[in-house]
A and B are shown apart, each in its own frame.
Chain A
Amino acid sequence: EAGVVQSPRYKIIEKKQPVAFWCNPISGHNTLYWYLQNLGQGPELLIRYENEEAVDDSQLPKDRFSAERLKGVDSTLKIQPAELGDSAVYLCASSTSGDYNEQFFGPGTRLTVL
């Protein structure tokens, strides 16, 4: 069974440029999460989807970050414009529906903003 797929794995951009990350969850997983991991820190939740609906986006900086999961499968996380402080690893995870099911993580996208 394929795991969570993310692309690109690495991205280098200049500040003020837009960037987008893509995630394909494990087949059959209706719940999808985006996490931000700063260097030397644990991941922090940005947004959680149940199918197409964002059920928790309280930690998403909505002035520059946006996310979508239009068909309830793949998801895209976008930053526009990127700032130096956005350099981090962006992790996607998925689980079966519900609040308390085990989450499975993708390899992440490492973003560097110059």
Chain B
Amino acid sequence: KQEVTQIPAALSVPEGENLVLNCSFTDSAIYNLQWFRQDPGKGLTSLLLIQSSQREQTSGRLNASLDKSSGRSTLYIAASQPGDSATYLCAVLGYQGKLIFGTGTRLQVFP
């Protein structure tokens, strides 16, 4: 059974810092991996989707990497801003077509 773990569970940093959020999964037989952002009381916004054949994806200040063989992904946020404060969720899509989520990293960026 696929399990997805995210470390750390919470993170508080001053504005301007570069951050790394970690995601690990137990079954490397995945179709893709996705990073989402969730603001309080809101739904999920997709940030980056990495296909299993890819190593990384970039969007603006965000960069996500995937090492399928070791079951790991990282989300790198450059020059963090207070507006980046949210919960970040990692999810893997297995070959059963089911999206399995981690428990998230709650990020707070203070001015």
Q: How many residues of B contact A (CB 8 A)?
A: 25
B89 partner, pick from A33, A42, A48, A107, beta carbons under 8 A = A42
Do B42 and A107 touch (CB < 8 A)?
yes
Instruction: Tell me what chain B mostly uses at the interface: helix, strand, loop, or mixed.
Output: strand
A43 partner, pick from B41, B42, B101, beta carbons under 8 A = B101
Instruction: Given the known inter-chain contacts A91-B43, A100-B93, A106-B43, please indicate yes or no for A40 contacting B98, CB distance below 8 A.
Output: no
Is B44 an interface residue when CB atoms closer than 8 A count as contact? Answer: yes
Is B77 an interface residue when CB atoms closer than 8 A count as contact? Answer: no
Is A15 an interface residue when CB atoms closer than 8 A count as contact? Answer: no
A31, closest chain B residue (CB) = B97
A91, closest chain B residue (CB) = B43
B44 partner, pick from A6, A91, A100, beta carbons under 8 A = A91
Q: Which 7 A-B pairs have the closest CB atoms?
A: A42-B101, A99-B97, A105-B44, A107-B43, A105-B43, A100-B31, A108-B43
Residues of chain B whose beta carbon lies under 8 Å from any beta carbon of chain A: 4, 31-32, 34, 36, 41-46, 49, 89, 91, 93, 95-104
> Can you name 6 extra interface pairs (CB under 8 A) apart from A48-B97, A100-B31, A108-B43?
A4-B43, A42-B104, A43-B44, A99-B97, A107-B43, A108-B42
